[in-house]
Structure 1
Amino acid sequence: MRSPQERNTRLENMTWRIWNLARKKKEVEDAKRLKRRLGTEKPRTDATAEMSEDLFEGEKGEDAGDASVAYGDSSAGNTPRISAVDKLYIVLISLHGLVRGENLELGRDSDTSGQVKYVVELAKALSSCPGVYRVDLLTRQILAPNYDRGYGEPSETLVPTSFKNLKQERGENSGAYITRIPFGPKDKYLAKEHLWPYVQEFVDGALSHIVHMSKIIGEEIGCGHPMWPAVIHGHYASAGVAAALISGALNVHMVFTGHFLGKDKLEGLLKQGRQTREEINMTYKIMRRIEAEELSLDASEIVIASTRQEIEEQWNLYDGFEVMLARKLRARVKRGANCYGRYMPRMVIIPPGVEFGHMIHEFDMEGEEDSHSPASEDPPIWSEIMRFFTNPRKPLILAVARPYPEKNITTLVKAFGECRPLRELANLTLIMGNREAISKMSNMSAAVLTSVLTLIDEYDLYGQVAYPKHHKHSEVLDIYRLAARTKGAFVNVAYFEQFGVTLIEVIISEI
């Protein structure tokens, strides 16, 4: 029988032996773990770097405003049909508003706003890009009796903004064109809220035009095969639905620009408390619009936004997009991992661009008129504005907006009327589009304009507020020049105006 000392010694030896075996086992496991880690370290590092990068492209200076960011190569689940040539055929779609190449009637109604100018200028700019053969801007043909006959022309040629990059050989059908597709009532102009039932009719007509034009261009440039569009770019929700259907039918890329998103507008209107959700939906068809934006998200490869705020605070409200999940999916795609069927479009930030070369030539670097230009008479629009004022020497407070509730013009007039020191210091000028008579305006615009006139009478602002009935698009520059001449200020009091065209105009004119 072993003594207690022997038993203790034996137990101690067994303990050390077990510890030594455990240590060796741990060393082997650590070696295997290190080997596995070294094998996956690079993909993991790449993924971490990708996750830490900014999700949104096109925001850096070298990419901002570059059309190649949006219209370049993009990876998708299936391979779209692209012509085997180095020249691109691009299709833009904008269904609502009055669309033409020159003398845009901006402000004539709620649908003919900055978006129309953006799309027309985009078509012109793309047509002057190297490698772009033809750009078609598809819109609605309007044959209503009270509108210019030009809106009923099936096709209109757009003059490019610049010819300096046009080095490739041009053909008979090259360049940029507005192509008007007939759909809906032939002799009636429809607001965007009433176009929804006719979108499929537009798609049928657009498909017929695109297929026909693809064959013609294919024969013209000598490839012998149809030259299918490189991309279908939808602008606004209704055009997004049309672009999704057309791109799916032709198996080509789709790009989408929302311009003004429905969910953000719905939340803003609900916060105002003036209308219920049902009333908002009845007026703006807002739920149909949101549904169309969700469909456009699912079908698009690229979504173009003007600001980071639009992505993080507006698109993030939609079921089809979530910022953090999109970041993770992009990282998984980068390292070749399985996304388990989840897909989100690539967001690209490209601030709106508008051609203002004619404005830049009018102003020098200090924002004053060019001192080298010969003296000339004051523009006619100046006298049209000044005739309203008792003292036209005061500085101008300038607001340029359509008479629409979201533009909040009545609040501006009320604030001006309640501030006597401001009234003594300056005059107020309201450029509220063009109108013939209030009785002929839409109910919503007529209500806003009536409220403005009522406030002018209530605060006795006669001789201090100008609200001209007419102005030409070419006179917009002169209006800003008048505000600059009087050392005035521009104000924007709209409820929703993330990136309006008036803000760009003000920046250029340097009021």
Structure 2
Amino acid sequence: MSELLQAVLDSEERSDLRQFISELRHQEKSYLLRNDILTAYTDYCNKYQKPNEFYNSSNLGKLIYYTQEIIQEDSNLYLIIRPKIAGQEVYRLTEDLSVDSLTVQDLLDLRDRLVNRFHPNEGDILELDFGPFYDYTPTIRDAKNIGKGVQYLNRYLSSKLFQDPRQWLEGLFNFLRLHQYNGTQLLINGRIQSQQQLSDRVKQALVFVGDRPSDQPYEEFQYELQGMGFEAGWGNTAGRVGETLEILDELLDSPDHQTLEAFISRVPMVFKIVLVSIHGWFGQEGVLGRPDTGGQVVYVLDQAKNLEKQLQEDTTLAGLDGLNVKPKVIILSRLIPNSDGTLCNQRLEKVHGTENAWILRVPLREFNPKLTQNWISRFEFWPYLETFAIDAEKELLAELHGKPDLIVGNYTDGNLVAFLLARRMNVTQCNIAHALEKSKYLFSNLYWQDLEDKYHFSLQFTADLIAMNAANFIISSTYQEIVGTPDSVGQYESYRCFTMPDLYHVVNGIELFSPKFNVVPPGVNEKYYFPYSRTEERLPSDRQRVEEMLFTLEDSAQIFGKLDDPSKRPVFSMARLDRIKNLTGLAECFGKSAALQEQCNLILVAGKLRVEESDDNEERDEIVKLYRIIDEYNLHGKIRWLGVRLSKTDSGEIYRVIADHQGIFVQPALFEAFGLTVLEAMISGLPTFATQFGGPLEIIQDKVNGFYINPTHLEEMAEKILEFVSKCEQNPNYWYEISTRGIDRVYTTYTWKIHTTRLLSLARTYGFWNFTSKENREDLLRYIEALFYLIYKPRAQQLLEQHMNR
């Protein structure tokens, strides 16, 4: 039994537990989530005048703190307790407080009964269990090391060297013989025939390059090295070749994980990368702010530019310039014929500021041209992914003159296509979720049937399970994205165990302790987003134009609201206009606080201004809601709403102009997977208030370089903003202190140089692991294919038939 529960039952607090349960019986809710439980416990303590010490420190208080869910069924109470990160226990309490432990299957049956109370399942339901496929792979033991997969894998691999050095060194030797570029052999040639010979020749080569000037170009001594058995790829100078061979020599003689990582990170094995981002408008101008785009487009474009730059740098350092090696990065997206004036109808578009990075757009097959020639919501996109992947494979092979070395998926649809491509081409697959919708929409799996017409979560969650389990490695922006915090469940953790009533039970959906998980946060595009104080880099014309747009410009079809007093401190936010981004919540928070209206103006850059201009259901609902809030709280003269499409230049300058006015940035999302706008605001110098639900918890250090807010508590949110504004009035330096610390935080932790170096190191390490471990993934991939063809594909076909009739 849970130690938390046992401690209560073995103490005088047993009667308090009984009393608390009695209070719960009077509630209408039969399913309580953590916030409901904490509220009920607070009410209980207040009603029975319990001291603060009891609330915070009693055994019952600790039990309540770690209880994620309470379900009431008949006379029984079920507690879902999460005593530690990535751990869950389920117990049934009867009326006389006797306790039974429940299995995962029991819990899923219970949840099904809650949904189908009047139509219980007849017979069994399909169970999905990925657990056995992870039994033969290394797993991390300590939850605090989740997300550090590559460090763990390197330790594991280097320990294998000690346990079975002959077999392992044979694997390393064969791995080095493997590498070529367009048919040209790299690293070692046929003059080295065994791992012992490799060790001897490395020592010989070290003496040879050690006698040469460290800056002597590789081309001047390449033939001598070839005679010893070494081809290009070790370095571009004698010094660099010597460093690489020294690391290999150390790895062969006395291996450890740091040496292994240092060596593998230098192996030239990644030259062609495909980044899959398919559902939205993907372009370089005129696409941001569209439904389903924005953050992901910015992320992938910046990633592509910096990956290509890093690949070029790595290629030069490896001494491959003489072989005319040209690294290539392709962003795979969909071609949209009716592209609304953007370049999304263009097959191939070069990425600005790069030598060899491209956007490759592949059209959907014309099942119904009325749909497939236009943008399609991410919630409706599922029927087209398989045929898109088949068509995209041909296009990629033609553009790359062969297979890519790495395929990176973005979002659920991109990750599923990445799986289909990687499976067909036998290529390393990386997943980046950006956001897992299951965490964003409450009870979305439990009541999926009620939401299916609008969101099609049965397809999305099945695609998530397929892609995340098939991936060789997964990148998350934060630790909590994987396994949450001590008091909240992570996005990936939510896939470990769940039910979709009448469809399937997931008893083990993902192994959170797998070394495939790695935390690699993105960076900020420093060309467009930089501190407001760097005035020499700002164009006066841009600054003046943005200033007018934000505060004074009238008679614009894209701007709503005229400010009575433009000199007030601006409270600013910029996001998509959808329910999760919660800009309407920020507007209501502002509307409820007369004091905040007295001190500040509210400025929003968000979506469209008119319902008839939007194709997205959620955006239309939020437009209506925002106008209603403005009227209800009479915010006319105090709010300005810009429904504009912004270039990156203007987007960066908007943050800086708000900073010129000593404004603040508020990110009020109900949930935010990472928070790119938080980074953009902070690097620009804006004191930032961001949601405590999601990634900003790891970006911001509360009250040090920014502030956490709870977007569900509007009055409390207003008070926190007001408290900051008041401190700034009393101490003019306070705004500058928070601003400066925010800038420093981004520059030390969130740059694209850090991100791309890490990503390429991961790609090489997992490629090496796949080769040397001889891990047989075929059984896992066959299981995943069964899920795709027996669950996903028939449901996608049903949705396609609906689309054909529109």
- Shared fold by TM > 0.5? yes
Residues 275-302 of structure 1: per-residue CA shift (max 9 Å, x gap): 9543433322222111111101221100
Residue 396 of structure 1 deviates from its aligned partner by 0.2
Residue 198, structure 1, aligned to residue 384, structure 2: yes
Give, as a single letter, the amino acid of the residue that structure 2 aligns with 1:397. Answer: V
State the match for 2:527 in structure 1. 357
Residue 464, structure 1, aligned to residue 645, structure 2: no
Q: Secondary structure at the match of 1:194?
A: coil
State the match for 1:507 in structure 2. 682
Q: Secondary structure at the match of 1:491?
A: strand
| Whole-angstrom CA distance in 2 between matches of 1:208 and 1:282 | 33
Residue 84, structure 1, aligned to residue 180, structure 2: yes
Describe how 1:302-451 pairs up with structure 2 within 5 A: 302-312=473-483, 313-318=490-495, 319-324=508-513, 326=514, 346-360=516-530, 363=531, 367-370=532-535, 378-387=543-552, 388-433=562-607, 435=608, 437-441=610-614, 442-451=616-625
Which one of 433, 450, 461 corresponds to residue 290 of structure 1? Answer: 461
Residue 492, structure 1, aligned to residue 588, structure 2: no
Q: Secondary structure at the match of 2:327?
A: strand
Give, as a single letter, the amino acid of the residue that structure 2 aligns with 1:409. Answer: L
Larger Rg: 1
| Whole-angstrom CA distance in 1 between matches of 2:350 and 2:139 | 49
Structure 1 pair 371/52, CA: closer, same or farther in 2 (3 Å)?
A: closer
State the match for 2:33 in structure 1. none
Q: Which of structures 1 and 2 has the larger relative contact order (alpha carbons within 8 angstroms, sep 6+)? A: 1
Task: Please tell me whether the aligned partners of residues 155 and 179 of structure 1 are also in contact (alpha carbons under 8 angstroms).
Answer: yes
| Whole-angstrom CA distance in 2 between matches of 1:505 and 1:445 | 23
Give, as a single letter, the amino acid of the residue that structure 2 aligns with 1:440. Answer: E
Structure 1 pair 383/466, CA: closer, same or farther in 2 (3 Å)?
A: same
| Whole-angstrom CA distance in 2 between matches of 1:243 and 1:230 | 12
Give, as a single letter, the amino acid of the residue that structure 2 aligns with 1:418. Answer: K
Which one of 342, 349, 360 corresponds to residue 179 of structure 1? Answer: 360
Residue 311 of structure 1 deviates from its aligned partner by 1.0
Structure 1 pair 58/394, CA: closer, same or farther in 2 (3 Å)?
A: farther
State the match for 2:337 in structure 1. 143
| Whole-angstrom CA distance in 1 between matches of 2:384 and 2:296 | 21
State the match for 1:70 in structure 2. none
Give, as a single letter, the amino acid of the residue that structure 2 aligns with 1:452. Answer: L
Greater mean alpha carbon deviation, residues 293-302 or residues 407-416: 407-416
Task: Please tell me whether the aligned partners of residues 289 and 645 of structure 2 are also in contact (alpha carbons under 8 angstroms).
Answer: no
Residues 381-400 of structure 1: per-residue CA shift (max 9 Å, x gap): 32223232010110000011
| Whole-angstrom CA distance in 2 between matches of 1:123 and 1:156 | 13
Residue 58 of structure 1 deviates from its aligned partner by 7.5
Give unpaired runs (5+ residues) of structure 1. Answer: 1-46, 64-74, 162-173, 216-226, 331-345
| Whole-angstrom CA distance in 1 between matches of 2:419 and 2:539 | 53
Residue 475 of structure 1 deviates from its aligned partner by 1.3
Residue 373 of structure 1 deviates from its aligned partner by 7.1
Give, as a single letter, the amino acid of the residue that structure 2 aligns with 1:469. Answer: G
| Whole-angstrom CA distance in 2 between matches of 1:457 and 1:83 | 66
Residues 14-38 of structure 1: per-residue CA shift (max 9 Å, x gap): xxxxxxxxxxxxxxxxxxxxxxxxx
Residues 414-450 of structure 1: per-residue CA shift (max 9 Å, x gap): 22112111111100011113x3632121332122111
| Whole-angstrom CA distance in 2 between matches of 1:269 and 1:427 | 36
State the match for 2:145 in structure 1. 54
Describe how 1:204-223 pairs up with structure 2 within 5 A: 204-215=390-401
Task: Please tell me whether the aligned partners of residues 241 and 296 of structure 1 are also in contact (alpha carbons under 8 angstroms).
Answer: yes
Task: Please tell me whether the aligned partners of residues 128 and 160 of structure 1 are also in contact (alpha carbons under 8 angstroms).
Answer: no
Task: Please tell me whether the aligned partners of residues 58 and 350 of structure 1 are also in contact (alpha carbons under 8 angstroms).
Answer: no
Q: Secondary structure at the match of 2:491?
A: helix
State the match for 2:322 in structure 1. none
Task: Please tell me whether the aligned partners of residues 288 and 645 of structure 2 are also in contact (alpha carbons under 8 angstroms).
Answer: no
Describe how 1:7-156 pairs up with structure 2 within 5 A: 54-57=145-148, 84-85=180-181, 86=268, 88-100=271-283, 102-109=284-291, 111-129=292-310, 130-131=314-315, 133-144=327-338, 147-156=340-349
Residue 193 of structure 1 deviates from its aligned partner by 1.6
| Whole-angstrom CA distance in 2 between matches of 1:487 and 1:422 | 15
Residues 321-358 of structure 1: per-residue CA shift (max 9 Å, x gap): 2334x3xxx6xxxxxxxxxxxxxxx1111102232223
Residue 237 of structure 1 deviates from its aligned partner by 0.9
Give, as a single letter, the amino acid of the residue that structure 1 aligns with 2:528. Answer: H
Task: Please tell me whether the aligned partners of residues 570 and 658 of structure 2 are also in contact (alpha carbons under 8 angstroms).
Answer: yes
Structure 1 pair 176/150, CA: closer, same or farther in 2 (3 Å)?
A: same
Task: Please tell me whether the aligned partners of residues 203 and 245 of structure 1 are also in contact (alpha carbons under 8 angstroms).
Answer: yes
Q: Secondary structure at the match of 1:357?
A: coil
Q: Secondary structure at the match of 1:407?
A: coil
Task: Please tell me whether the aligned partners of residues 395 and 488 of structure 1 are also in contact (alpha carbons under 8 angstroms).
Answer: yes
Give, as a single letter, the amino acid of the residue that structure 2 aligns with 1:123. Answer: A
State the match for 1:69 in structure 2. none
Task: Please tell me whether the aligned partners of residues 380 and 455 of structure 2 are also in contact (alpha carbons under 8 angstroms).
Answer: no
Task: Please tell me whether the aligned partners of residues 125 and 160 of structure 1 are also in contact (alpha carbons under 8 angstroms).
Answer: no
Task: Please tell me whether the aligned partners of residues 183 and 198 of structure 1 are also in contact (alpha carbons under 8 angstroms).
Answer: yes
Q: Secondary structure at the match of 1:152?
A: coil
| Whole-angstrom CA distance in 2 between matches of 1:453 and 1:49 | 51
Task: Please tell me whether the aligned partners of residues 143 and 149 of structure 1 are also in contact (alpha carbons under 8 angstroms).
Answer: no
State the match for 1:222 in structure 2. none
**% identical aligned pairs:** 27
Give, as a single letter, the amino acid of the residue that structure 2 aligns with 1:465. Answer: I
Q: Secondary structure at the match of 2:475?
A: strand
Residue 160 of structure 1 deviates from its aligned partner by 4.2
Residue 378 of structure 1 deviates from its aligned partner by 4.4
Task: Please tell me whether the aligned partners of residues 83 and 228 of structure 1 are also in contact (alpha carbons under 8 angstroms).
Answer: no
Residues 453-479 of structure 1: per-residue CA shift (max 9 Å, x gap): 111111111110000232422211222
RMSD between superposed Cα atoms in Å: 3.0
Q: Secondary structure at the match of 2:667?
A: coil
Give, as a single letter, the amino acid of the residue that structure 2 aligns with 1:136. Answer: I
Greater mean alpha carbon deviation, residues 276-285 or residues 374-383: 374-383
**Paired positions, count:** 393
